[in-house]
Amino acid sequence: MAQIHELSVNLSNQIAAGEVIERPASVVKELLENAIDAKSTRIRIDFIDAGLKQIIVQDNGTGIPSDQIDLAFTRHATSKISNEHDLFNVGTLGFRGEALASIAAVSHVEILTNSGGASGTRAEFAAGVKKAQEEAAATKGTQITVKDLFYNTPARLKYLRSPRTEIMKIVDIVNRIALGYPDIALTLMNEGRVLLRTAGNGNLQQTVSSVYGRSIAEKMLPFKSSDNDFEVTGLISKPGLTRSTRNFISILLNGRYINNFQLATAVMDGYGTNLAAKHYPIAVIKIKVDPLLVDVNVHPTKKEVRLSKETELSRLITNAISSALLAKDVQADAIGNL
Ligand code: ADP
Ligand code: MG
């Protein structure tokens, strides 16, 4: 048998990339979350060839100082947590310090960033190795360009679905994150064509209108409730406006889009007999909770979280939705729809 030896940094980054960066939509999600963590108010995403040829994410956030660019692309290097206590009290979308190193391991990356100085920095990476860094003109913020995704991991390329499906996955994740951040003006472009543009004026109904269209946004109903641990707010479709899958139920926990079957079921339970079999509502459910009650360190992509008091939260959501639907005008409307 061969001797045991430590893997090179590049190889271990490539292995990590296998977990975090599954497809073009994963790149978009990670870069978008970084832009949000950097307190951006304006973010633009542009992609070519379903993201395989190029993905650009441009933000007006804090930027990265030139002497920290190497660290930003080093695995397990992050500005977001520092000790064990922080790990159980995560207030940002990122914290694992893996995304940039992973993305750079499987693509060509160019970064242009300015953290507030007279000029900024431009750097280039290929398969995880820095090729160049120089001073460059840039406005405050960061622009990351990812080219030739998976060019050095052909197995991953083969596993991808059709361009149409990969584009749909990009749109889906950007839509859901947009719904979580109505304060951020987000633009998503496919080869110069606008797929999504939100105003960034903080109005959730208008964001729903940008994502799902005006006629749906007009049929959405606000709800709100809280207990000692949770605050839930959001918009739900009136009875009669349904879809044939659960995919239109978006759950955002402290701004993080999560997959959670039990909470989605709690949403549907709120409709009671108003929901026919195999009909699913459209809903944006925003949950605010003390980060101490959430363990986000469950899965590399952080789409699943472990939540204390999930049953209590489910009940709160169900009750909040059923009271919102019980309001007189909604009932009248529902009858009018029959
Ligand atoms: P994480 O987000 O988990 O910290 P990343 O690999 O995604 O790990 O990013 C590494 C670090 O690079 C971040 O902690 C942050 O300090 C910096 N960074 C990444 N993207 C941006 C951005 N768009 N604006 C400002 N800083 C960024
Ligand atoms: Mg990140």
Q: Tens digits of per-residue pLDDT, 28-50? A: 999 999 999 999 999 999 999 99
Query: What's the pTM value of the predicted model, to 2 decimals?
Result: 0.94
pLDDT on residue 51: 98
Return the higher-pLDDT residue of 57 and 297: 57
Say if ligand 1 is within 6 A of residue 40 CB.
no
Distance CA 196, CA 212 (A): 10
> Domain extents for the chain?
9-197, 219-337
**Pair 327, 238: CB distance under 8 Å:** no
3-state secondary structure of 38: coil
CATH number of 219-337: 3.30.230.10
Which is the CATH superfamily of the domain at 9-197? Histidine kinase-like ATPase, C-terminal domain (3.30.565.10)
Predicted interface score ipTM higher than 0.95: yes
Q: Is the CB of 46 under 6 A from ligand 1?
A: no
Rounded to an integer, the average pLDDT of 11-16 is: 88
Give the pairing of strands 280-281 and 242-243.
Answer: antiparallel
Residue 59, ligand 1, Cβ within 6 A: yes
Say if residues 337 and 239 touch (Cβ distance below 8 Å): yes
Residue 43 CA to ligand 1 center (angstroms) comes to 15
Given this model, what pLDDT does residue 297 score? 84
- Closest residue by Cα to atom 11, ligand 1, is 72
pLDDT digits (tens, 9 = 90+) for 153-199: 999 999 999 999 999 999 999 999 999 999 999 999 999 999 999 99
Q: Nearest 5°: phi and psi at 291?
A: -55, -25
Cβ of residue 141 lying under 6 Å from some atom of ligand 1: no
Find the 7 Cα to ligand 1 centroid distance in Å.
Answer: 24
User: What string of DSSP letters covers 185-249?
Assistant: EEEEEETTEEEEE---SS-HHHHHHHHH-HHHHTTEEEEEEE-SSEEEEEEEEPTT-EESSGGGE
Q: What is the pLDDT of residue 298?
A: 86
Contact criterion met (CB below 8 Å) for 249 and 283:
yes
Q: For 273-326, what is each residue's pLDDT tens digit?
A: 999 999 999 999 999 999 999 999 888 887 888 999 999 999 999 999 999 999
Mean pLDDT of the chain: 94
* Domains 9-197 and 219-337 equal at CATH topology level: no
